[in-house]
Structure 1
Amino acid sequence: MKRLQSIFIFFLLAAILAGCRGSSGAKGESEVVVGFSQMENNNPWRIAQTESIRNEAKEQGYGMVYTDAQGDTAQQLSAIEDMIAQGVDYIVLAPREYKGLGPALKSAREADVPVIFVDRMAEGKAGEDYVTFIGSDFIEQGERAAEWLAEELGGEGNIVELSGTTGASVAIDRAEGFRNYLNEHASDMEIIASQTGDFARSEGQKVMESMLQSNGGNIDAVYAHNDEMAIGAINAIKSAGLTPNEDITVVSVDGTKDALQAIIDGEMGATVESSPFFGPLVFDVIEKLEAGESVDTEILIEDRFYDENNAEEFLDEAY
């Protein structure tokens, strides 16, 4: 009798654990479970992206296993391996860095688990290591920021750049696009200093403080790879007794609520939108894959551009 009770308890616990799989609710044995590996969840853009994907999973009835790598590539690699071991059906991956995730992608391929890159690329071959990339054209974002700045400064001036995470595809591309435009259309504008602020407000402020000390009154503009660093730079500029967007023009990328408010307040010049609302796009892809349909290997998001002419109009829509 005790043996029968033990067996019953074992299977009861197994059933409970199976029912708890995923953070978005269970549908039973037929449930499709999506693993979402977020690189970090510590700023408004990442938080909005995470909420969009998790909310869409819940709304459409998918199970979800969610992990936050907390800005650590090794931790993200381990998390993806764990998801594969748990038997997820798909992996949605926001890569911390372009390189370093090869072993996890290999494991996913061997387990026949489709991988969908969101907002950043990682090293791999489309159609083999990953199904598709969903995100913005980061090179174009850099070009649009440079175009606005060149018009604002009349094609002349010294720029300091606050770049994103070293080695991340988004930082590489936003830098490339910005330089491409200057080289082709504004050769009298020069980037006199460039340093990573790791996409963080506090780091952006710290780096900008250092640049102000090193370059004195020689800075005409700041190009930040995201709004968090741009706002950090604005804080540093004000602490130095200067007026942001008058003494030093500020342009950025993301389109956060704080950035649009800074434009309205006259402290930031412009920001290129980089939408974080990936949920509907991600699950549209998964629905097609579930139906046996093919999907494009690249799905680009159309981003808006915000300046003094429209920042107030879109403030309530921003995150």
Structure 2
Amino acid sequence: MFSSTRRRTAGAMIASLAVLGLAACSSEQASTDAGSDSGDTGSAAEETISIGFSQVGAESGWRAANTKSIQDTLTQENGFDLSFSDAQQKQENQIQALRSYIQQGVDVLAFSPVVETGWDAVLEEAKAADIPVILTDRAVDSDDDSLYESFIGSDFVLEGETAGEWAVEQYDGEGYQVVELQGTTGAAPAIDRKAGFETAIEGSDLEIIDSQTGNFTRTEGKQVMEGFLQKYDDIDLVYAHNDDMGLGAIEAIEAAGMVPGEDIKIITVDAVKDGMQALADGKINYIVECNPLLGPDLADVAKKVIAGEAVEKRIVVKDKAFDQEAAVEALPSREY
């Protein structure tokens, strides 16, 4: 939780900003001292919260929508000074960015971790600097949950379970052979969506005959699917951990002279517009939503943390699931 010392410092800084008209976050200590000396107790300007955000990358339509939500919400007009970096799906880039933000003395750190593990050292550095951390979209695997204030995102295990339950409801008893297009190895959604799906199909006659990573990208999803089609003659169902890999699989299936959604069924996760259009067109059979519009929740949590208010450790957004009929109905007003 945000320390009482930092809250007192923030409060004094607000007073100093009103008196001196200063806006630079890097001048926090000087502003604090000046505010204390002035003794001005008049109305204070609203504090701008400096926030450093490290994004996974730009690997998919979902990620693009997630980035837009964050950048459109964390604006100067809404009381934020956002510094944004793209890690290009490399953990070392993300750690470097977080350390740079710590050195800059931002008020809040936020990031969507590339993978689950290997974060304790840099998060301990943030804690030592008294900078609160908010996780978005993906969680970290750490024994010390005091290293971050809150996680905001979807329940990836539930997403996998929802996909698997629908597959069992539709296809159990038909002996379906399933290939799985996994997300980035070691990433929370890849681990959890796989686990949830496997749990849901346990006891049915659906069988996962192969599972490989497509790194959440359309290009690699297509490449992996091409390999599956060369290796197996009896693929009945593709389970893709996101829409982009599913769309890549569609390209590979069509290039092989088959009809996606008919000759080979496809289930994906995300429900971005391109995926929903493919579902409406009958090329995908079912999509479990993963809502990328996390900017408003991140803004709300950041403001509460800075104000010293209690926040939930885990904030799970509500997701839907779509068949073809539901996709046709939802598309005209789809925000992402």
Structure 1 residue identity aligned to 2:200: Y
Contact 2:164/2:201, CA 8 A, preserved across alignment = yes
Contact 1:116/1:133, CA 8 A, preserved across alignment = yes
TM-superposed CA distance for 1:18, in Å, is 4.2
Contact 2:111/2:135, CA 8 A, preserved across alignment = yes
- Alignment pair present for 1:167 and 2:183: no
Q: Pairwise mapping of residues 92-241 of structure 1 onto structure 2 (< 5 A)?
A: 92-125=110-143, 127-155=145-173, 156-183=175-202, 185-186=203-204, 188-216=205-233, 218-241=234-257
Q: Pairwise mapping of residues 270-309 of structure 1 onto structure 2 (< 5 A)?
A: 270-309=286-325
Q: Deviations over 1:226-279 (max 9, x none)?
A: 000000001101111111111110000000101111111111101100000001
Percent identity of paired positions between Structure 1 and Structure 2: 43
- Alignment pair present for 1:50 and 2:67: yes
RMSD over aligned CA atoms reads 2.1
Q: Deviations over 1:8-27 (max 9, x none)?
A: xxxxxxx9994999xxxxx9
What residue in structure 2 maps to residue 12 of structure 1? none
Please say which of residues 55-64 and 228-237 is displaced more in the overlay: 55-64
> 1:16 & 1:78 partners in 2: Cα distance?
29
Of 267, 275, 282, 1:251 maps to 267
| Structure 1, unaligned runs of 5 or more | 1-14, 22-26
TM-superposed CA distance for 1:286, in Å, is 1.4
Of 54, 60, 66, 1:37 maps to 54
> 1:79 & 1:28 partners in 2: Cα distance?
30
> 2:157 & 2:46 partners in 1: Cα distance?
43
> 1:267 & 1:20 partners in 2: Cα distance?
52
Structure 2 residue identity aligned to 1:307: D
Please say which of residues 285-294 and 243-252 is displaced more in the overlay: 285-294
What residue in structure 1 maps to residue 98 of structure 2? 80
Following superposition, which runs of at least 4 residues in structure 1 exceed 6 angstroms of deviation? none
> 2:65 & 2:144 partners in 1: Cα distance?
27
What residue in structure 2 maps to residue 11 of structure 1? none
Contact 1:126/1:297, CA 8 A, preserved across alignment = no
Q: Pairwise mapping of residues 60-75 of structure 1 onto structure 2 (< 5 A)?
A: 60-75=78-93
What residue in structure 1 maps to residue 11 of structure 2? none
What residue in structure 2 maps to residue 8 of structure 1? none
Q: Deviations over 1:57-82 (max 9, x none)?
A: 11412111111111111111111000
> 1:95 & 1:230 partners in 2: Cα distance?
23
Contact 1:124/1:130, CA 8 A, preserved across alignment = no
> 2:23 & 2:200 partners in 1: Cα distance?
54
Contact 1:126/1:132, CA 8 A, preserved across alignment = no
Q: Deviations over 1:281-300 (max 9, x none)?
A: 11111122122211111000
What residue in structure 2 maps to residue 24 of structure 1? none
> 1:127 & 1:62 partners in 2: Cα distance?
26
> 2:286 & 2:84 partners in 1: Cα distance?
34
Contact 1:225/1:253, CA 8 A, preserved across alignment = yes
Contact 1:163/1:197, CA 8 A, preserved across alignment = yes
Residues 16, 294 of structure 1: CA spacing in aligned structure 2 closer, same or farther, 3 A cutoff?
closer
Contact 1:136/1:300, CA 8 A, preserved across alignment = yes
Please say which of residues 225-234 and 126-135 is displaced more in the overlay: 126-135
Contact 1:250/1:269, CA 8 A, preserved across alignment = yes
What TM-score, normalized to structure 2?
A: 0.84
